[in-house]
Amino acid sequence: MSTLYPLKFKTIFKDKIWGGHKIETYLHKDFGDLPNCGETWEISGVKSDVSVVANGELEGESLADLLEKYQDQLVGKKVYDHFGNIFPLLVKFIDANDDLSIQVHPNDELAKKRHNSFGKTEMWYVIEADPGSTLITGFNQPVSEQIYLNKFNSGNLMDILNREDVSAGDVYFLPAGRVHTIGKGLLIAEIQQTSDITYRIYDFDRVDDKGHKRELHTEEALAAIDYNFYLEYKTKYQPEKNVDVHLVTCPYFTTNIMDFTENTSKDYSGLDSFVIHVCVEGEYVIEADGKQYPVKMGECILLPKTINAVELKTTNGFKILESYIE
């Protein structure tokens, strides 16, 4: 078998009714003949869209094949024991040229029962935000299923949803069950469980190019929604240069942000997990086992478990989201 090394994957582009052109104009990723691009899937183990290696001697191999072949060498023993041959995280960039539908994702228990799938807990990092951009996350007051249904059926659902003003650098953690939508004008990096299950609650009565409305999942959503009210929805963190800053820890992933203007080294030997870097600003070079792997804004790279130490070298600085499973 080949020796594992830092892996890049071919981007999977997704045309969406609400998509725009920032994937191309801001992240410099060419989505070809698509009319727009709402999402890119950068690292995916979802069966319908499995990522394919784009660099080195394993180029052309799928992530699923690598996982079957390398097992815990790729993802770590604890991760492999738990998830087997399913890669546990999905990494996306999302360009909302219009509001996404108001939606909710089921938790593991409900997703297993209904779809034989994982649930979908996720986090968002806002890369760029047009002036006045907003998003919705959770409720703005305590509600019950009955209050929710009354508002939904009377066409007043927006009255009870929590809308937030958004700026670049904001972070939101969205556990499964939280009603949410990404608002118009936002470019976001998303890290989530490997799942593509979405219950669409409301879609602003939009129609596609054939005049059809998208399917809603009104009944399915009821059992999935977390009706609790929370005082804080945005993740609080203190930005700092040249140190790792912790953002999110949950059973599914831990994510830190690294905003560096200088070279640094990372020792991952104590971690029983793969590591993913999502570059959201600048560029750098990873040095591992004597070889160099350039990474620039809009790119992601997967560091297999077998890589214990890396050097990150930069000329003009970088900002990356660093994720793994603890």
Give me 121's structure tokens: 């807990």
Element of type H or E holding 91? strand 89-96
| CA–CA distances in Å: residue 175 to residues 147, 214, 249, 271 | 22, 24, 11, 24
Concatenated DSSP letters of 46-74: -TTS--BB-SSTTTT-BHHHHHHHHTHHH
Element of type H or E holding 255? strand 254-260
| Domain definitions of the chain by residue range | 12-224, 244-324
pLDDT of residue 210: 84
Query: Could you give phi then psi for residue 115, rounded to 5 degrees?
Result: -130, 0
Question: How do residues 133-143 score in pLDDT, each as one tens digit?
Answer: 999 999 999 99
Concerning whether 200 is annotated as a catalytic residue, the answer is yes
Question: How do residues 46-104 score in pLDDT, each as one tens digit?
Answer: 999 999 999 999 999 999 999 999 999 999 999 999 999 999 999 999 999 999 999 99
Tell me the whole-structure pTM to 2 decimals: 0.96
pLDDT of residue 207: 84
Q: Is the dihedral of CA 31, 34, 35, 41 positive or negative?
A: negative
Which residue type is seen at 188? I
CB 47 within 8 A of CB 67: no
Domain 244-324 belongs to what topology?
Jelly Rolls (2.60.120)
Which of the following is catalytic: 114, 200, 206, 214? 200
Question: How do residues 5-28 score in pLDDT, each as one tens digit?
Answer: 999 999 999 999 999 999 999 999
Q: Which of 326, 313, 311, 325 is nearest to 266 (CA)?
A: 311
Q: Do domains 12-224 and 244-324 have the same CATH topology?
A: yes
Q: Flag whether pLDDT at 272 surpasses 90.
A: yes
Question: How do residues 150-162 score in pLDDT, each as one tens digit?
Answer: 999 999 999 999 9
List residues bridging with 275 in a β-sheet. 303
In this structure, CATH architecture of domain 12-224: Sandwich (2.60)
